[in-house]
Every structure is written in structure tokens, then in C-alpha cells.
């Protein structure tokens, strides 16, 4: 498991979805999503690209803890011990989606987009993203500034950046 620092990621590429779909198609790999605070934006960004059906089979939007458990298999113990907004939950979300859909790489995103819902320990703009394959896993903890829309949009781009990193790790083995 590798933690990627926010400073190592790029959210500058507004067309990272085009890059992701192109690379996944080129290498015959499948990607899936498990989203909470992004509410399906990553799936929407992928399916906005023509030909995405060759690499994207589906995803989950699990806003509540009950659905994280039910749909993705996130452990009740994980949610109680670390909370919904945690690295551990993001990891279990990405793995659960990947296993259930049968994709090569899964993305899990959970965070607090705001404007409410934050606390001293978990402020608005805190987002955890996990991208994993069977043999590789990267994750990041983001502290994003901006309004709800900006936090969600940046989270989407960062998530696709992480998925591309996992794909490149897989193909460079």
C-alpha cells in the first residue's frame, strides 16, 4: 500500500477522464467506482467519454453507512472504529466494488464536501481516495479548499489520477 501525497497528484487536467478511458481501453482493463461524497461524478466522467463501455462496467453510490456495508461489504467494525470518512473505509469501498463488479481496478472515495458536516477532526474538504487492483494499492488523504462543487470536482480528478497510477503499476510489472 502506497500513500500518495496530495502534492504529488494533479487535478490540473480537466480531461483526465479522457486519459483514463484511453489507457484502460488500450490495455484491455476494467475500472469500477465506489463513491460517497462524489455522488457518481467519477462514473459520469468516465461514461462521458465515447467508448467507455469497453472499460467501465459500473459503479456504486453509497452515501449512507448502511449502503456501504450492504452494497460494498465495508465492515461495521471499520465504520465504528474509523468512521465513514477514513482511509480504511475508502480501501474497503474500492476493494468491495472491484470484487462485486469483477473489474481490474476499483476506486473508493469518501469525504466531507460541505458546506456542513465537518468537525475539528474531520473538516469540510477532507477526502480519502483509494485505488486498488488485485496486486497494487494507492491511496491519498486530501484537504481541499473550495465550495461543495469544487471539492467534489477535484476529488473526481484526483481519483482518476490515482486509478491511472495503479493501472500503470499493473502494466509495468
pLDDT at 97: 98
Q: What number of other Cβ atoms are within 10 A of residue 155's Cβ? A: 27
Nearest to 111 by CA among 66, 158, 77, 75: 158
Q: What number of other Cβ atoms are within 10 A of residue 159's Cβ? A: 31
Lookup result for grid cell 463488479: 101
pLDDT at 88: 98
pLDDT at 9: 83
Domain extent at residue 7? 2-171
pLDDT at 5: 85
pLDDT at 1: 77
Segments of the chain with pLDDT less than 50: none
Query: In CATH, what number is assigned to the domain containing residue 156?
Result: 3.90.950.20
Count structural domains, the chain. 1
The grid coordinates of residue 35 equal 463513491
CB-based contact 86:122 (threshold 8 Å) = no
CA 6, distance to chain mean position in Å, is: 14
Nearest to 79 by CA among 87, 70, 89: 89
Amino acid at each position: 500500500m502506497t500513500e500518495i501525497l496530495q502534492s504529488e497528484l494533479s487535478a490540473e487536467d480537466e480531461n483526465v477522464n479522457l486519459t483514463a478511458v484511453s489507457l484502460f481501453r488500450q490495455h484491455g482493463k476494467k475500472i469500477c467506482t465506489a463513491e460517497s461524497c462524489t455522488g457518481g461524478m467519477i462514473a459520469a466522467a468516465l461514461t462521458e467519454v465515447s467508448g467507455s463501455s469497453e472499460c467501465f462496467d459500473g459503479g456504486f453510490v453509497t452515501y449512507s453507512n448502511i449502503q456501504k456495508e450492504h452494497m460494498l461489504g465495508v465492515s461495521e467494525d471499520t465504520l465504528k472504529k474509523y468512521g465513514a470518512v477514513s482511509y480504511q473505509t475508502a480501501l474497503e469501498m474500492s476493494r468491495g466494488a472491484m470484487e462485486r463488479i469483477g473489474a481490474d481496478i476499483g476506486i473508493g472515495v469518501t469525504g466531507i464536501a460541505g458546506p456542513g458536516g465537518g468537525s475539528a477532526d474531520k473538516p469540510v474538504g477532507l477526502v480519502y481516495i483509494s485505488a486498488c487492483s488485485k496486486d497494487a494499492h494507492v491511496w491519498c488523504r486530501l484537504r481541499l479548499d473550495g465550495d461543495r462543487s469544487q471539492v467534489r470536482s477535484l476529488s473526481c480528478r484526483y481519483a482518476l489520477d490515482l486509478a491511472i497510477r495503479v493501472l500503470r503499476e499493473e502494466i509495468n510489472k
